[in-house]
Structure 1
């Protein structure tokens, strides 16, 4: 199953879009060319379980991108954000789930990227990639990200 392509008048393929949805003050749609608006980070991925692979990813932190669209947690209650989950879906149907606490600098501070490039190659045509360098061999990496949903309905206080 592939991503449907959107053709422009000239026949060129339009950049893949990512829908930021859910419990957000400002839901948005982004493309890879939008991602340099945030500070860029580089992480390296090394996998030894299926033969050594080395890749470099570049893009903004997922936390920075999602913070810009206003997650709807109570800013006066520090722990309120701990009930928020982030569901990421790729064009091929692959999904990954993260907690807000995992990416929040006040808690887990994981350097999770919404990568705009891999090994100095842009991901503009296929969409950004979710990159969790702390995961063993990219278990939660999602290619061609097309939806990121933030959901705060979880936890006993929800």
Structure 2
């Protein structure tokens, strides 16, 4: 009997890291049923980061939220509350490339990211962990800041 650690990243556009880890583990167990298989899906701060933390941190709780996606469409997303009160918010889930029907380099924004951050803070999160990979936007975070109440002004006010 062996212990096997299955720690993939996502297969971008095809399967999340959690789905890949589960499929690999199922395949391994079908050939070596006596082995202990430990799932440890990975993420680089982009898509799948919430999933990886949810698997890795016992007691983490996912909170659904509806936000404005990078092209202005409403999207279903979520943030994760960790047991110590820290909220993990993933940019890819709220304002990511996977949410676009087609590239929008001049228009995609991060408003949904700010909305998810605000939802986590409103729910009582005591700290934030922001995973900022996988963005579809080129607004430099201006959309997120405005969703959090900032006013952006030019030299003329």
Using the size of structure 2 for normalisation, the TM-score is: 0.29
Using the size of structure 1 for normalisation, the TM-score is: 0.29
